[in-house]
Amino acid sequence: MEINGIAHVMLTVGNFDACVAFYEPLLHLMGLKTVLKSEDYLYCVGGRTAVGIQPAGGGPSGERFDQDRTGLHHVCFRARERADVETVHEFLVERGATIVHAPREDDFAPGYYSLLFEDPDGVRLEINHVPGKGLLA
């Protein structure tokens, strides 16, 4: 058996309105389309995956994401081209998003090039490009 990617990632957010304003245009830039949107739900699909967000129970909590607690560490989107990483970086800088590190090469895999940033709740997100088959070459 071999899986065919990740179907979706669902995020529960503390500041739903700010996160919708952040995620919807970002996901559209990356080729996902909004298929469901309501006062308490956003779901975008594209590129063989989907991303959904929903508010935390009890409304805005002001609680920030902590990468070191049990649960999600970060979400990484795979870009088709190195230039796509640059495009997302420019988009985020224009919007004043928190950039953890600008696009750079790392040694996680041959040619690994990535951008690390945060959503309004502090959830860490990454977009990377790895040429060819990466570690599977």
- 11-25, 54-68, 123-137: segment of lowest average pLDDT: 54-68
User: What's the confidence (pLDDT) of residue 50?
Assistant: 97
More confident residue, 136 or 20: 20
What is the C-alpha separation between 58 and 77, in angstroms, rounded? Answer: 30
Averaged pLDDT, 73-98: 96
73-137 has CATH 1.10.357.10 classification:
no
User: What's the confidence (pLDDT) of residue 65?
Assistant: 77
- Residue 88 tokens, joined: 């997302």
User: What's the confidence (pLDDT) of residue 90?
Assistant: 98
- Residue 23 tokens, joined: 């995620």
User: What's the confidence (pLDDT) of residue 134?
Assistant: 75
User: What's the confidence (pLDDT) of residue 67?
Assistant: 76
User: What's the confidence (pLDDT) of residue 58?
Assistant: 66
Is the confidence at residue 2, as pLDDT, over 90? no
Averaged pLDDT, 19-37: 97
Select from 116, 115, 11 the least CA-distant residue to 53: 11
What single-letter DSSP state applies at residue 136? Answer: G
Q: Span 1-56: which CATH code?
A: 3.10.180.10
Model confidence, pTM:
0.90
